[in-house]
Structure 1
Amino acid sequence: MAKYDYDLFVIGAGSGGVRAARLAAMSGAKVAVAEEHRVGGTCVIRGCVPKKFMVYASEFAHHFKTAKGYGWTIEGASFDWPAFIAEKDKEIARLSGIYVRNLQNAGAELVHGKARLVDAHTVEVDGKGRVTADKILIATGGRPWMPKDVVGIEHAISSNEAFQLPALPKRVVIAGGGYIAVEFAGIFNGLGVETTLVHRGPNILRGFDDDVRAHVAEEMEKRGVKVRLGSQITEIAKGEGGLTVCCTDRHSLEADVVLFALGREPYVEGLGLETAGVKLSDTGAVIVDDHSRTNVDNIWAVGDVTDRINLTPVAIREGAAFAQTEFYGNPTTFDHDTVASAVFSQPPIGSVGLSEADARHKYGKVDIYLTRFRPMKYAFMHGDERCLMKLVVDAATDRVVGCHIVGPDGPEMIQMAAIAIKMGSTKAQWDATCAVHPTLAEELVTLREKYVPPGLGQAA
């Protein structure tokens, strides 16, 4: 008789957990996956997928303005929020169903209910009782973090609730300066909502290249988003006319919805990790090694719950590496270096590699190639919208170590740039690549003049 009920028990049916479970089950292992909500996890159900649909919906207002410049007459256009939400929900249900079928077709068992560890080999699932497993994988992801010191915080929503608002508000105040806050600011603004972004820092998008941060903030304001920096929300009061938001800069704002997007935290609450002896970081993340193994030999963790790089494709690759290592005899790790990312702000961002500041800290002398220009698509709009492209080059080796794009299709272009940077290509090799004309992307291989940041002079 088998020593355990399962060879692998996965807690969490998000992208990372599902990929690991499928691959393990296809090897012939007996696998179960527990999910307390809907299969698909944050990305599919309440994250990047529905948010991208919202971005698409909100971009049409800008497209209509562009169309007028090209001779189109746009009259009577209107947006139906309930109709959009209904279609969005249908698609999310379809995608969730695909995840379920893929698990079942691979031979994995799906268990609905919250799971918690009783010990290193025993899992208890609400309504299902206890089972044992040789190996356990934690893939519970993250959840929005909400502050406890804001008076009236119960009147605010997180990004989770933003996907199911019963009606489109007329006024929204968004707290935060990270990518989630910035993306939702673009979404609501594009849908005609009076949008204010309140952020405590000196600029939005901490961690991104400084030129990118400043450029995006400027372009957002051009499109109508009110960006208020150096301020925090201290109180939310509910009245007959809506919500009154008080800030540390002594200004107050009126809103119908207040959305807090101040970051996410690993979802470890109620998992019983301490019972099994699994160590957590100071931020509550599960500590793992390069093979995603915890300090407990038979327990692993992948995805946002480990707080390494919180991106869906990373969770998928971590889950696949785990399965290859443990069920196929093929020791595999995922290289977390030089991972491209996109922010579906308006305008959008594509970024891979080091920022200028990080590159200077790492390499000392770097060469910067930067351009700002009006996209050809907007030539007939008679506006001042600009896109930005920037290459960061290690001066000693001529290797391109960073690429940053803000503008139409930036997230699409960055995928190809990421391949070149991951391969260690040099600026000379980029320059030797013939441009595709007329495109925005051609600027990446035609940048010749080095940019000297103000104040650095010849020391750059």
Structure 2
Amino acid sequence: MSFDYDLFVIGGGSGGVRAARVASAEGAKVALAEEYRMGGTCVIRGCVPKKLMVFASGYGEMPEEARAYGWDIQDGDFDWLPFRTKLNSELNRLEEVYRSLLNGSDVEIFDSRATLADPHTVKLATGETKTAKHILIATGGHPVRPDLPNAHLGITSNEIFQLESLPKSVLIIGGGYIACEFACILNGLGVEVTQYYRGAQILRGFDDEARGLVAEAMREKGVNLHLGTNIVEMRAASDAENAQILTSTDPAMGGAAQDTAALTEAGSGSGPVWVKATNGQEGVYDQVMFATGRSPSTSGLGLEEAGVAVGRRGEVVVDDYSQTNIPSIYAIGDVTNRVQLTPVAIREGMAFVETVFKGNPTKPDHELIPSAIFTQPELGTIGLSEEEAREQEPVDIYCTSFRAMQGAFAGKSDRVLMKLVVSQATDKVLGCHIVADHAGEMIQLAGIAVKMGATKADFDRVCAVHPTISEELVTMKSPMRSA
């Protein structure tokens, strides 16, 4: 049977673009369809703009710290609009880079939504149909709002980058890494931040000691974090009991007294939102942001028509080689709901090409993936948490917490955590957890050692780089406890 293409990729994010380019380099005739903007979640509305906002939010504390070091620097105010303009320019540049990479790789681009018509056919929103020997689904995921009346009044991480103005107050719902990162970002930009999380502690699934320190640091920096708390009702402030605005200075309710006009002027979108929480508190916020999870983007994709199996959360079900139950159709990245990280999607795309176009069956490696949460301070982690490890085998815990030299000199209370989880039987380092400025940079390097199977003795043999924060990883000689 003759096909228009050897490979048709649906989705122009990092994973889909990489797979398309590498397959084309192997001599395959490749096309790619993207309905929105090239670059996907990471480049356009995720990792890249978020990290730039992280950088921006960190400058607020610098004048005070600089003065402690003898610099005559005055405090300033953050101006959202010039930053947003430059942010958009950078995202436009990166999108063009992705597009140029595809063009340079002889990948045909369709700026259109594509859906499955059958196991070898895709239908474009333009009405065209294209056939391919192989189809790769790489449509990613999207943030979800809770099933709550008036939830449309809240924004998600998709909209946060394009606000017309920076709100004076915001309520963030959620306790995962996206919620915590944006709580820190907005707090650093001068926004009064309140955060509700229905669980007992933020950052579920990460090491308890590490996430506890992050939560404590967030509170110290001014985030009004409420645990065991959720939203039960919300509506436009103008509709909430004749727009009765709180006059309390309770920080959990968004700060000092505000009036409707001021809130409307400061906010964007639908204007201020009245919220009632499970703890009985009521408040009005310029913005409410939902960071309550993400779902695979499979709705209306034609999966049923093509016979592709879908999981309970709407994810495309794949085997170890990213192949669906339909032999000609594969899927990679967040749409499979395996590991929702950009570098993982890229590696899955590379493994797909190895398997399908190079004749070298390759499983993507999902074990021991280092990751970082860009809160303030950052959390870097790889491997098992203490809680996970002690359920598997007896372990020794090497841990230290201290005030870093740079901040301590300036009188800051910020603390650092360095933690190694070590097998008693093999001396192998099962997990490494760092809470500190630049923890993301450190965990990338520490992750190499852990991935290689380094033992605690291997760490101990490395001479310390002094004076640095990371030297503590190789100077902890005795376990703090065993578990």
- 8 Å CA contact 1:348–1:406 kept in 2: the answer is yes
Amino acid across the alignment from 2:416: C
For 2:365 and 2:131, the matched residues in 1 are separated by 32
Paired residue total = 451
- 8 Å CA contact 1:144–1:264 kept in 2: the answer is yes
For 1:345 and 1:379, the matched residues in 2 are separated by 19
Residue of structure 1 in register with 2:332 after alignment: 302
Q: Deviations over 1:429-452 (max 9, x none)?
A: 100100101101101001112112
- 8 Å CA contact 1:153–1:235 kept in 2: the answer is no
For 2:432 and 2:65, the matched residues in 1 are separated by 27
2:443 to 381, 394, 414: 414
Residue of structure 1 in register with 2:454 after alignment: 425
Q: 2:386 matched to 1:386?
A: no
- 8 Å CA contact 1:151–1:234 kept in 2: the answer is no
Instruction: Note the residue ranges of structure 1 that are not aligned, 5 or more in a row.
Output: 453-458
TM-score with structure 2 length normalisation?
0.92
Q: Which moved more, 1:43-52 or 1:285-294?
A: 285-294
For 2:75 and 2:448, the matched residues in 1 are separated by 44
**Per-residue deviation at 1:385?**
1.3
For 2:118 and 2:9, the matched residues in 1 are separated by 15
1:437 to 466, 469, 472: 466
Amino acid across the alignment from 1:56: F
Q: Deviations over 1:244-273 (max 9, x none)?
A: 211111111221000000010000011001
1:370 to 382, 391, 399: 399
Q: What are the residue-to-residue correspondences of 1:58-457 with 2, within 5 Å?
A: 58-148=57-147, 150-240=148-238, 241=260, 242-363=272-393, 365-452=394-481
Residue of structure 1 in register with 2:19 after alignment: 20
Residue of structure 2 in register with 1:456 after alignment: none
CA RMSD of aligned residues (A): 1.0
**Per-residue deviation at 1:76?**
4.9
**Per-residue deviation at 1:380?**
2.1
- 8 Å CA contact 2:63–2:75 kept in 1: the answer is no
For 2:46 and 2:375, the matched residues in 1 are separated by 14
Amino acid across the alignment from 1:196: T
Amino acid across the alignment from 1:168: L
For 1:277 and 1:128, the matched residues in 2 are separated by 21
Q: Deviations over 1:166-223 (max 9, x none)?
A: 0010000000000000000001000010001100000000010000111100000010
Q: Deviations over 1:218-247 (max 9, x none)?
A: 000010001000011111221252222111
- 8 Å CA contact 2:15–2:346 kept in 1: the answer is yes
SS at match of 2:195: strand
- 8 Å CA contact 2:64–2:75 kept in 1: the answer is no
For 1:253 and 1:59, the matched residues in 2 are separated by 28
SS at match of 1:163: helix
TM-score with structure 1 length normalisation?
0.96
**Per-residue deviation at 1:337?**
0.3
Amino acid across the alignment from 1:94: R
**Per-residue deviation at 1:54?**
0.4
SS at match of 1:99: helix
4+ residue runs over 4 A deviation = none
Amino acid across the alignment from 2:309: K
Residue of structure 2 in register with 1:455 after alignment: none
Amino acid across the alignment from 1:211: E
Amino acid across the alignment from 1:171: S
**Per-residue deviation at 1:128?**
4.5
For 1:28 and 1:293, the matched residues in 2 are separated by 21
- 8 Å CA contact 1:347–1:407 kept in 2: the answer is yes
Amino acid across the alignment from 2:59: F
Amino acid across the alignment from 1:213: R
SS at match of 1:379: helix
- 8 Å CA contact 2:38–2:95 kept in 1: the answer is yes
For 1:155 and 1:135, the matched residues in 2 are separated by 41
SS at match of 2:279: coil
SS at match of 2:162: coil
SS at match of 2:464: coil
Q: Deviations over 1:372-400 (max 9, x none)?
A: 10011112222321011110001100000
For 2:205 and 2:235, the matched residues in 1 are separated by 33
Q: Which moved more, 1:2-11 or 1:194-203?
A: 2-11
For 2:467 and 2:406, the matched residues in 1 are separated by 10
For 2:75 and 2:24, the matched residues in 1 are separated by 53
Q: 2:87 matched to 1:57?
A: no
Amino acid across the alignment from 2:80: W
Q: Deviations over 1:123-178 (max 9, x none)?
A: 00101411111000000000001112x23212101110001000010000000000
